[in-house]
A = this chain, B = another copy of it.
Amino acid sequence: MPQEDLDAIVAEVARDMRAHLGEGKVADYIPALARVDPRQFGIAVVTCDGRVAVAGDGDTPFSIQSVSKVFTLVLAINRLDEALWKRVGREPSGSRFNSIVQLEQELGIPRNPFINAGALVVTDAVLAGGAPSEAIADIAGFLRRLAMDEAVSIDPEVAASEEATGYRNASLGYFLRAFDNLHSPVPDVLEVYFNQCALRMTCRQLARAGLFLAQDGLDPLNHMQVTSPERTRRINAIMMTCGHYDASGEFAYRVGLPGKSGVGGGILAIAPRRAAIAVWSPGLCEAGNSLVGQLALQRFVALTGWSVF
């Protein structure tokens, strides 16, 4: 797609979203998220052939939260390969409610890496018994390299708030530990986890960082083979079936692309062999995904015809 077409589409999406700004409900379980101005929207597209288009607040950093789970998953797969799947499943989980039953039922093996229990196992795999500070530095460094931008950083206030209110995650952590499915001390795993959730990135950085997922694991811009084609397909499949909490099926229908959302309002979507797209708008739908972000991706896909279905 020529640059000018891409620019035009991205601009059109941003324009169309104006009518929706402020819709949805901003995450309010920690102050740093609660006070974000809901009337913001950003979008960035980075294509496999190197074009970049950004519109709206696409250069404003936000808390990527659960979008980080995609990147720690890459690190964990690269480290453990198939052994990772003995510790975490790859199937959709049904509702949050079920996931607690399931964890007991399936003896501490979370159903997939994107529910919180699964993400803690993934983080534990990245931590690998080392020091939390090193693992945090590794994760942040990985994102900086992928984004080709040293400005990617962790918001210490968010990390601290997450920790102060993260009782459910602590509960999950100890539950997993009871099944020997966390190997590092639970507080260490939680520390890394809360920090990875507190990563601040812009849409531009996020789309750039996710581009390798659109190209069989090879980052076409810096020619780095981030992960293998098989692992890339695995991650995309998990994003498609499990990437949006209890609205993953809805996202698959409306957007038709693998993606991962976070309660900070960001969504990373992958159009295989075409581009990575990042959108951000703080207001969330009931399922916890960016309401305007989903609308934007739906519009973007309608304009480009990039749905995989």
What residues of chain A have their CB less than 8 Å away from a CB belonging to chain B? 89-95, 97-102, 104-105, 111-112, 167-168, 170-175, 177-178, 186, 232-234, 236-238, 240-242, 246-250, 252-253, 256, 258, 272, 307-309
Known contacts A105-B95, A171-B172, A252-B241; A309/B258 CB under 8 A: yes
Known contacts A174-B167, A249-B242; A104/B100 CB under 8 A: yes
Determine the chain B residues whose CB is within 8 A of the CB of A105 once the complex forms.
95, 97
Who on chain B is nearest to A85 by CB?
B250
Question: How many chain copies?
Answer: 4
Who on chain B is nearest to A168 by CB?
B178
Determine the chain B residues whose CB is within 8 A of the CB of A101 once the complex forms.
97-98, 100-101
Determine the chain B residues whose CB is within 8 A of the CB of A248 once the complex forms.
91-92, 241
CB-contact partner of A91 in B97, B99, B100, B250, under 8 A: B250
Establish whether residues B241 and A249, one from each chain, have CB atoms under 8 Å apart when the complex forms: yes
Determine the chain B residues whose CB is within 8 A of the CB of A92 once the complex forms.
91-94, 241-242, 248-249
Establish whether residues B100 and A95, one from each chain, have CB atoms under 8 Å apart when the complex forms: no
Interface pairs (29), CB distance under 8 Å: A91-B94, A91-B95, A91-B247, A91-B250, A92-B93, A92-B94, A92-B242, A92-B249, A94-B94, A95-B105, A101-B101, A167-B174, A167-B177, A167-B178, A168-B175, A171-B174, A171-B175, A171-B177, A173-B174, A233-B256, A233-B307, A233-B309, A234-B253, A236-B309, A240-B309, A241-B252, A272-B308, A272-B309, A308-B308
Known contacts A100-B101, A246-B91; A237/B258 CB under 8 A: no
CB-contact partner of A171 in B89, B94, B178, under 8 A: B178
Q: Give the distance to chain B from A117, nearest Cβ to Cβ, in Å.
A: 11
Q: A92-B249, A173-B174 are in contact. List 4 more A-B contacts (CB 8 A).
A: A95-B102, A98-B102, A167-B186, A272-B308
Q: Give the distance to chain B from A286, nearest Cβ to Cβ, in Å.
A: 13
Known contacts A248-B92, A253-B233; A174/B178 CB under 8 A: no
Give Cα A258–Cα B167 distance, bound, in whole angstroms. Answer: 36
Known contacts A92-B249, A112-B249, A308-B272; A98/B98 CB under 8 A: yes
Determine the chain B residues whose CB is within 8 A of the CB of A172 once the complex forms.
171
Who on chain B is nearest to A92 by CB?
B92
Give Cα A57–Cα B178 distance, bound, in whole angstroms. Answer: 34
Establish whether residues A253 and B90, one from each chain, have CB atoms under 8 Å apart when the complex forms: yes
Give Cα A29–Cα B126 distance, bound, in whole angstroms. Answer: 29
Give Cα A245–Cα B99 distance, bound, in whole angstroms. Answer: 17
Give Cα A74–Cα B253 distance, bound, in whole angstroms. Answer: 15
Determine the chain B residues whose CB is within 8 A of the CB of A90 once the complex forms.
249-250, 253
Determine the chain B residues whose CB is within 8 A of the CB of A111 once the complex forms.
94
Give Cα A304–Cα B77 distance, bound, in whole angstroms. Answer: 26
Who on chain B is nearest to A95 by CB?
B102
Among A89, A111, A175, A249, max chain B CB count under 10 A is at A249
Who on chain B is nearest to A214 by CB?
B309
Who on chain B is nearest to A244 by CB?
B91
